[in-house]
Amino acid sequence: MQEHDNSLNITVYKLSEEASYTKLFHSYREGETLPSGKALREVVELCRSILFPGYFGKARINAETLRYHIGVHVETLHTQLSRQIYAGLCFSDTHCESCTDRSRNEKAAQLAETFIATLPAMRDTLATDAEATYRNDPAAQSPAEVIICYPGFQAIVNYRIAHELYKLGIPFIPRMIAEMAHSDTGIDIHPGAVIGDHFSIDHGTGTVIGETSVIGNHVRIFQGVSLAGEKLPPDENGNTVRGVTRHPILEDYVTVYSNATLIGPIRIGRGATVCGNVWVTSDIPAGQMVKQWTK
Amino acid sequence: MQEHDNSLNITVYKLSEEASYTKLFHSYREGETLPSGKALREVVELCRSILFPGYFGKARINAETLRYHIGVHVETLHTQLSRQIYAGLCFSDTHCESCTDRSRNEKAAQLAETFIATLPAMRDTLATDAEATYRNDPAAQSPAEVIICYPGFQAIVNYRIAHELYKLGIPFIPRMIAEMAHSDTGIDIHPGAVIGDHFSIDHGTGTVIGETSVIGNHVRIFQGVSLAGEKLPPDENGNTVRGVTRHPILEDYVTVYSNATLIGPIRIGRGATVCGNVWVTSDIPAGQMVKQWTK
Amino acid sequence: MQEHDNSLNITVYKLSEEASYTKLFHSYREGETLPSGKALREVVELCRSILFPGYFGKARINAETLRYHIGVHVETLHTQLSRQIYAGLCFSDTHCESCTDRSRNEKAAQLAETFIATLPAMRDTLATDAEATYRNDPAAQSPAEVIICYPGFQAIVNYRIAHELYKLGIPFIPRMIAEMAHSDTGIDIHPGAVIGDHFSIDHGTGTVIGETSVIGNHVRIFQGVSLAGEKLPPDENGNTVRGVTRHPILEDYVTVYSNATLIGPIRIGRGATVCGNVWVTSDIPAGQMVKQWTK
Amino acid sequence: MQEHDNSLNITVYKLSEEASYTKLFHSYREGETLPSGKALREVVELCRSILFPGYFGKARINAETLRYHIGVHVETLHTQLSRQIYAGLCFSDTHCESCTDRSRNEKAAQLAETFIATLPAMRDTLATDAEATYRNDPAAQSPAEVIICYPGFQAIVNYRIAHELYKLGIPFIPRMIAEMAHSDTGIDIHPGAVIGDHFSIDHGTGTVIGETSVIGNHVRIFQGVSLAGEKLPPDENGNTVRGVTRHPILEDYVTVYSNATLIGPIRIGRGATVCGNVWVTSDIPAGQMVKQWTK
Amino acid sequence: MQEHDNSLNITVYKLSEEASYTKLFHSYREGETLPSGKALREVVELCRSILFPGYFGKARINAETLRYHIGVHVETLHTQLSRQIYAGLCFSDTHCESCTDRSRNEKAAQLAETFIATLPAMRDTLATDAEATYRNDPAAQSPAEVIICYPGFQAIVNYRIAHELYKLGIPFIPRMIAEMAHSDTGIDIHPGAVIGDHFSIDHGTGTVIGETSVIGNHVRIFQGVSLAGEKLPPDENGNTVRGVTRHPILEDYVTVYSNATLIGPIRIGRGATVCGNVWVTSDIPAGQMVKQWTK
Amino acid sequence: MQEHDNSLNITVYKLSEEASYTKLFHSYREGETLPSGKALREVVELCRSILFPGYFGKARINAETLRYHIGVHVETLHTQLSRQIYAGLCFSDTHCESCTDRSRNEKAAQLAETFIATLPAMRDTLATDAEATYRNDPAAQSPAEVIICYPGFQAIVNYRIAHELYKLGIPFIPRMIAEMAHSDTGIDIHPGAVIGDHFSIDHGTGTVIGETSVIGNHVRIFQGVSLAGEKLPPDENGNTVRGVTRHPILEDYVTVYSNATLIGPIRIGRGATVCGNVWVTSDIPAGQMVKQWTK
């Protein structure tokens, strides 16, 4: 090893030069931490344990002791989520001089509380998603199989959690939760998308639902489907324009089959069907079907 | 924190109301456990250690001591797999009053034993898959690289394990093993599919092979390929029809290139080639090639 | 259990027969170890901690103590990477009688040192990739979000690490590092591909960039894109031909939209655009756009 | 390595001969497990979390949510303790043919429930022990320090848990819990000893309190004290006589200083003091002090 | 299980009654945490890595890279120790209304910094302890063996760390560090004791050195030795008197053999020897030897 | 934090000065590692699993599959112990220029093999120790309890392992194994002591058996007993004399009660009894009993 030390020391020197690291360096203030992927995985696990009692979490649960378990899980969720939201606030807002640690800590605790208050309604919506997934897939043997095994349902759970956090204006955390599901399932739903009830995604690998997509109720999507954004011209200063509506709208009861690509702020009418491998860039009237030309 | 407790307690109360959790609650009987994803990962690792001695598992192995290692691995596999099968049986069968714990335990041990007896033949088939994958990919440097690094081969190993368990009628467990590979590789092979020897999948992300697909020998598939099910009308009561043949049949020596979608119970004849990004809904004769129209 | 032992013992016996395991057995020499996926994950984490100080790694870092941290990380990286390279050399080269353990150990340490010396330049290139990704995606809120959350950027980091190791002729290790990113992100970039600066991949699931692909600067790619190899005829002995150029060349400023497939050693000219779901098998002139025919 | 295999194989052969292992082999029946030291550590931790809310256990606790936490801890304790009691019953009772698994499982659950019902009274007694320890040690800064840091108090907690289990006739488990404290603190209190309230042990390393010792209230003991058993002659068959009273009785308000040894079924009267390093084999009247002869 | 729930619920109810837990409950304010035994073990490990480079800690270290390692260790130590000191301050001071979180955090960081500044001198003193231990034990094979294996030396290291923290007036933390060594080695040195250089303890199990002991240089102690406190009468209110000098003074070059007990504020003169198993309650002149009367 | 950095950096500087660390620094050569306490704990666990099949180790074992388990354990033990012996050889022998890594590796593997060959005889002796412990303690309920729970037996197991390694001249490793038992049980048996069969230690905390002690068969010892070395005068150069016989000899059937101290190379005759708390410095004839003078 000793013979390599000189070369290694030269590299250490180069990598420690300010000119080298300045573009890729993040500088902290006292007491700040990074949002943690590992902690957010636990946050999602806690949400799952609360939403689906008996399916996730280690302990045996029965109706009598259910409240004890939910009580402990909710309290733990509040503590851990507050910490991650705080980390996200610090990370995105490194120049706010007026906001002290204490006020940010309090803001994070308040946001976590507001999020937790959405869980009962979220559970109701997820019950419709589980039911729709089971009804739509002839290979499913029970709703329980959907809740435990289906990647599409897993991605929808993460999306619904991330979306509520996104609506509260929390930075970073929603995207990290969405990317967890993306990594595990290959399904990439942006937390900003708006999605109705009875939603199902089958197989799902490669599916992308962009930031400003709007999806109605009873919509069904397959693997490899893209709801993609229109490319926008830069603004007068040459900067990327952000936050503009640029993704498709799918009305109720739409079905999109595998590997179809829908681009731009187009409208797919109620009950329309988009067949597999099609490239769609304009509106489709209600009830119609679009197909690729094949042999 | 204390200031948030009131709000949190209201949420705990709502989430503990029977009307809220009833649709998403799983209730257990004494002594039952959920099938465990983590335990099933160990089951698959044990199978790999047994099937590919020297490639997986921690210990240094040579021919003299091979039997000791396989003996210990097989015994451990029997114990752990029996436990997971038992959990699967309990989970799927919550209303069987006549079947006692003891009989289910014994049934689980018997099923695990039967599964283990298929490992020698499974090893033979997997040797043909490894060989085919190596021969088909000019980027592969050795068969060892295929066994260690190739996601396509990894997904095939999980499929062959899951398929043997599926044939024994074991609920949940096969699907969970298939979804593990799906999550790791993006390749989604339903345990019910029937697949011959010398099978290879290259790259593989987004590939879907549905429940009633039938694939011959020497078949070769690429990323993003879907062997998808035909949509079936509901039965007279409006319920989803399950278990009917509804996926493609691929005869020997068929090749399907990336992102092609084959739908319904069609037959792709011996030696046919389906090019990339094609949408196929009808039979293809033996030896033919199907292409997308492109510029 | 005891009643199952006889059956299990028969299976152990079969699986320990030389005829059974011979095709799938790897035999070691004294002191050799397998390359370890877990250790390589740590190697990649160490590279990330060195390249992006303040974003990855546990410790709070400031400019004063940066050199201590980089010094320790570089030394640890050298030790761990040397060990993995050594394992890779042993694994690929089981028949080299003349090369001793000591010479292979020294060779591994030398290769690790050479790799580490490429990190400063790699950091410069990755800064251009992060910047391009941020500029190209209207949904990105900051470059920090790209570095922490974006699977496309994660896959590019692994690729740039793997590519430097590939150029040094190290077996197995580059492929394993590329497959890690493939598993986590669904993006499959072969370490042999040559890729310029300001490179970005959005969403990315299902994207494949083959071994002999050549990609210029400022290229932008979406999910499900394949840069695939032409199928080559076997050589005169019926063996697969390996190492020949057989993948596309993308010149500077090319954009390829989702699910497009480009096959063979074709040339996509400077600034050309390939729309989604297209199947391309021939050259495209500079500045042109190719589309699928749709309704 | 290979050169060593022959020698190793000979050793394996010798160690697998029945004549070699027969004296030190434990044979199981289907489904039985060994009592687990690790699981019992968790059992003791759970007891501590229940008995001393706010001192042990990870979560932040306040009066409002205390019941949730205790509810979850009690339920988890019941599950884990039942399993360990079951293992203890199996282990000690390998020849009971009439007792089925089911009846033993039910018996274990019943015993765990009975034990848990003793926790409220145990908490009351431990409060007197903590108070006495604090009052007796001028170096203690607060009762909290006693509960968190004092090995003497830790050993008393384990003893009081073990003693309740011992009274229920549960084999092995009480002894294992006592030996945990012995290993951690050097204090060896047999679960069979009977000990009153306001009990304190200072420093404690080397203290031994034998199986049939009886200790009153407000007794105070130091390090290295032995309450030892009289040596009994074997019975007419030459076997060791077990279960006979053979250890000292200490009445209320007795103090025994460091390294004193008290042997046999002697009585130390109310308020007596035994100074350090003394060897006592006969009764001591109430209120007296015994000293070693020193320079 | 269900049949046990009623009984368990009654116990939960009893244990949640305020009257039951009030004596053994610790109540927190927002953001406070308990001092953590696990974190303090890491603090001690970090100190060891800094004090004895090359003996503890995972990485290979050489003179060139020593500063990198010490730099990272010192920074990590500062962060972790600050957190534990903060927890100790909160825990001991639950009624201080005027001291805010921020001031306590800053105080903790300042105390940690002050402690770290004592490490260079502490290393010098520990070098004399290691040397004395090696010279005094004919069974020691090298000073390295002392540093790695000797429980006496381990206890002295923890003592010297704890003593510096004790001198800074930090509550709880010093005692917890001392009790760690007590549990691991059976040697109980109170952090308040004052101990000179060239100190050695051989074997050590059962040795107790009380809070106000004063020990000179070149002192040598064996297992089971107690430097114990005189029993003090309570104050006029019947409360225990705390903080008064009540333990022995050992001058330079004193030796105390195994299981000797020295009680009260007595003075053992320079070079005196106390033989094993003796009970000493009065001064011993310089150079004298005290023995037990034996056969 | 930043305000503390200057002070911390000064401390880092001081601690990195050669004059500071030179006495407590261990310098390595390429490829060397420290003996690892954690790895040696696993070595002892492996020995226990081999010696007491069915008592330790996770897997369910029966007579049919015993050989598989012992085979795997023996092989793993050989690998791990060889590595630790190698580390011990490097550590103690930093100046041997002629011995290469390869020769030391081979020597370590040979020593591990020789040690393993002693396990069958060690098992026979340990069976006599377990039997004697059970017979001597009226509180023991079964020999199984002795093997699982008794600290005295645990210390004897570690001693017998350490002693065989000591006889092979292996540095450091035997002492580390003995100190593990010392830490867990408070019993400190030097690996150099020679101890016959049917040996038992009851309770045991504080017991010390020195390096050159010789103990016959059927000897029984209690807690706090010291077999201590005579203090030797330094040699003509003032150095400590090492390796000379200086501890007691206990003949067959000797009993030593708690806290007795026996010093120097004295002989305790066959069947003699030493009562508690006695200080013995001269021979005791066969069959005699020695007592302390007490009230």
pLDDT digits (tens, 9 = 90+) for E107-130: 999 999 999 999 999 999 999 999
Position E194 pLDDT exceeds 90: yes
Region A11-24 average pLDDT: 83
CA dihedral of F15, F19, F20, F23, whole degrees rounded to 10? 140
Q: Measured between alpha carbons, how far is D183 from C151 in angstroms, rounded to an integer?
A: 49
Top pLDDT among F58 and B244 is at B244
Q: Measured between alpha carbons, how far is B179 from A149 in angstroms, rounded to an integer?
A: 7
Token pair in block for residue C36: 């370890």
Nearest by CB to A65, which of D59, D65, D71? D71
Contacts of E212 (CB under 8 A, 6+ apart): E192, E193, E229, E244, E245, E246, E247, E265
Interface of D with F in 105-134 (CB under 8 A): none
Token pair in block for residue E102: 């921020």
Contact F78/D at CB under 8 A: yes
Per cent of chain F over pLDDT 70 is: 88
- Torsional class of E52: left (φ above 0), alpha (ψ -120 to 50), beta (otherwise): beta
Position C56 pLDDT exceeds 90: no
Within its chain, how far is the Cα of E172 from the centroid?
11
Specify the length of chain C in residues. 295
Within its chain, how far is the Cα of F142 from the centroid?
26
Strands C188-189 and B273-274: unpaired
CA dihedral of A260, A266, A269, A274, whole degrees rounded to 10? -10
Report the chain A residue with the minimal C-alpha distance to residue F5.
A30
Within its chain, how far is the Cα of F43 from the centroid?
13
Position C1 pLDDT exceeds 60: no
Amino acid at C247: H
Amino acid at D211: E
At residue B1, the pLDDT reads 45
Contacts of F147 (CB under 8 A, 6+ apart): D24, F52, F55, F130, F153
Answer whether A139 sits within 8 Å of B14, measured CB to CB: no
Could you tell me the pLDDT band of residue D67, with boundaries at 50, 70 and 90? confident
Region E25-29 average pLDDT: 63
Count of CB atoms situated within 10 Å of the CB of A15? 22
Position F34 pLDDT exceeds 70: yes
At residue D295, the pLDDT reads 42
| pLDDT string in tens for chain B (295-residue length) | 456 668 888 888 888 888 888 777 666 555 567 889 999 999 999 999 999 987 876 545 666 678 888 999 999 999 999 999 998 988 876 555 556 667 888 899 999 999 999 999 999 999 999 999 999 998 888 888 899 999 999 999 999 999 999 999 999 999 999 999 999 999 999 999 999 999 999 999 999 999 999 999 999 999 999 999 988 888 888 888 887 899 999 999 999 999 999 999 999 999 999 998 888 999 999 999 998 654 4
Nearest by CB to C5, which of F1, F5, F65? F65
At residue F295, the pLDDT reads 42
Ranges A241-250, C200-209, F67-76, most confident: C200-209
Contacts of E272 (CB under 8 A, 6+ apart): E251, E254, E255, E284, E285, E286, E287, E288, E289, E290
Closest CA relative to residue E187, chosen from E216, E218, E152: E152
At residue C295, the pLDDT reads 42
Amino acid at F210: G
Contacts of E161 (CB under 8 A, 6+ apart): E44, E47, E122, E177
* ipTM field: 0.91
H helix or E strand, kind and range, residue C250: strand C249-250
Top pLDDT among C144 and F27 is at C144
At residue F232, the pLDDT reads 80
Position E278 pLDDT exceeds 80: yes
Region A26-47 average pLDDT: 82
Output b/e per residue, D53-69; b: 16+ Cβ within 10 A.
bbbbbeebbbbebbbbb
Report the chain D residue with the minimal C-alpha distance to residue A77.
D59
Region F64-68 average pLDDT: 81
Q: DSSP alpha helices (H): ranges in chain F?
A: 2-16, 18-21, 37-51, 66-92, 101-116, 119-136, 143-149, 151-167, 173-185
Angle (deg, nearest 10), helices A173-185 and C173-185: 110
At residue E230, the pLDDT reads 84
Which among B12, B20, B166, B177 is the top mutation candidate for probing chain A, defined by the most A β-carbons within 10 Å of its own β-carbon? B12
* Min distance C47 CA to chain E CA atoms (Å): 17
Range of weakest confidence among A258-272, D12-26, D158-172: D12-26
Position A5 pLDDT exceeds 80: no
Round the average pLDDT of chain D to a whole number and report it. 88
Contacts of A106 (CB under 8 A, 6+ apart): none
For residue E142, CA distances in Å to C92, F172, F181 come to 43, 10, 21
Top pLDDT among F143 and F214 is at F214
DSSP designation for D276: T
Q: Measured between alpha carbons, how far is D22 from D11 in angstroms, rounded to an integer?
A: 16
CA dihedral of C3, C6, C8, C13, whole degrees rounded to 10? 170
At residue A295, the pLDDT reads 42
Range of weakest confidence among A121-125, D47-51, E62-66: E62-66
Contact F67/B at CB under 8 A: yes
- The DSSP code sequence of C29-84 is -TT-----HHHHHHHHHHHHHHHSBTTBSSS---TTTHHHHHHHHHHHHHHHHHHH
Contacts of B213 (CB under 8 A, 6+ apart): B190, B193, B194, B195, B227, B247, B248, B249, B250
Q: What is the pLDDT of residues F198-241, one digit of tens each?
A: 999 999 999 999 999 999 999 999 999 999 998 888 888 888 88
Answer whether E62 sits within 8 Å of A2, measured CB to CB: yes
Answer whether C4 sits within 8 Å of B53, measured CB to CB: no
Chains with 3 or more CB pairs under 8 A to chain A: B, C, D, E, F
Token pair in block for residue E40: 């303090």
Token pair in block for residue A232: 């926008």
For residue B180, CA distances in Å to A205, E22, F132 come to 13, 49, 53
At residue F99, the pLDDT reads 60
- Torsional class of B86: left (φ above 0), alpha (ψ -120 to 50), beta (otherwise): alpha
Per cent of chain A over pLDDT 70 is: 88
Within its chain, how far is the Cα of C87 from the centroid?
18
Interface of F with E in 180-239 (CB under 8 A): 182-183, 186, 188, 190, 192, 205-206, 208, 210-211, 224, 226, 228-229, 232
At residue B207, the pLDDT reads 97
Q: Measured between alpha carbons, how far is D101 from B30 in angstroms, rounded to an integer?
A: 14
H helix or E strand, kind and range, residue B273: strand B273-274
For residue C170, CA distances in Å to A29, C91, C95, C112, D126 come to 41, 11, 17, 10, 64
- Asked whether the beta carbons of C199 and C163 are under 8 A apart, the reply is no
Could you tell me the pLDDT band of residue E188, with boundaries at 50, 70 and 90? very high
Q: DSSP alpha helices (H): ranges in C100-150?
A: 101-116, 119-136, 143-149
- Asked whether the beta carbons of D92 and D134 are under 8 A apart, the reply is no
What Rg do the C-alpha atoms of chain B give, in angstroms?
Answer: 22
Token pair in block for residue D4: 């060593």
DSSP designation for A176: H
At residue E295, the pLDDT reads 42
Chain D environment of C33 (Cβ under 8 Å): none
Report the chain E residue with the minimal C-alpha distance to residue A4.
E64
- Asked whether the beta carbons of B260 and B277 are under 8 A apart, the reply is yes
Top pLDDT among B65 and E93 is at B65
Region F93-106 average pLDDT: 69
Answer whether E79 sits within 8 Å of C72, measured CB to CB: no
Handedness of CA C266, C269, C271, C275 (dihedral sign): negative
Count of CB atoms situated within 10 Å of the CB of C107? 16
Chain D environment of E171 (Cβ under 8 Å): 141
Token pair in block for residue B107: 């049934």
Nearest by CB to A1, which of F1, F2, F30? F30
Q: DSSP alpha helices (H): ranges in chain A?
A: 5-16, 18-21, 37-51, 66-92, 101-116, 119-136, 143-149, 151-167, 173-185
* Min distance A63 CA to chain E CA atoms (Å): 10
CA dihedral of D10, D14, D16, D18, whole degrees rounded to 10? 150
- Asked whether the beta carbons of C174 and C162 are under 8 A apart, the reply is yes
DSSP bridge pairs for E226: E208, E261
Count of CB atoms situated within 10 Å of the CB of D16? 18
- Asked whether the beta carbons of E130 and E137 are under 8 A apart, the reply is no
Q: What is the pLDDT of residues D227-278, one digit of tens each?
A: 999 888 888 888 888 878 999 999 999 999 999 999 999 999 999 999 988 8
Report the half-sphere exposure of E281 (CA within 13 A, side-chain side). 10
Hey, is C124 helix, strand or coil?
A: helix
Token pair in block for residue D31: 């489904």
pTM comes to: 0.91
